[in-house]
Amino acid sequence: MIRKYGKALAAVVGAALTVAYGALSGDQHIAPEEGVQIAIATATAVGVYLVPLTPQYRWAKTAVAVILSVLQVLATVILGGLDAHEWIALLLAGLTVAGVGAAPAVSNNGTSNQAPRSAPTSQPA
């Protein structure tokens, strides 16, 4: 399961941590800015799951996570500015990207995020 859905699972863990942090930090109430962070983290998890890997774009799932994490940064800075709580939320977004990038994945078309290995060539004696 990890080999096939590793990238999606990493994004779901990142979203779950973002929800938990938003709900449990500070005043233990989800403010509008935190709601936007949670929505973007959820969209990241859904996007990483839905985007297929293709032989030409083995990095597609990671690209979705990067794009939405940049949106996370922009939304956080524009909506509420940066304080200690926002830095932690941005750290979670960055860790989500790192997790998605490092995790394995295989799409239903059989394409893996790892480059195919070429067959060893035999050397004449």
Q: Which long-range contacts (CB under 8 A, 24 or more apart) does 112-116 make?
A: 112/53, 112/58, 113/7, 113/53, 113/58, 113/59, 113/61, 113/62, 114/58, 115/58
Q: Both ends of the chain: CA-CA distance in Å?
A: 44
pLDDT at 117: 57
pLDDT value, residue 8: 92
pLDDT value for 2? 82
Residue 121 confidence (pLDDT): 59
Q: Give per-10-residue mean pLDDT for the chain (125 aa).
A: 89 94 85 90 95 88 94 88 83 94 85 66 59
Give the pLDDT confidence score for residue 79 in this predicted structure: 83
Check residue 108 and give its pLDDT: 80
Per-residue pLDDT, 82? 83
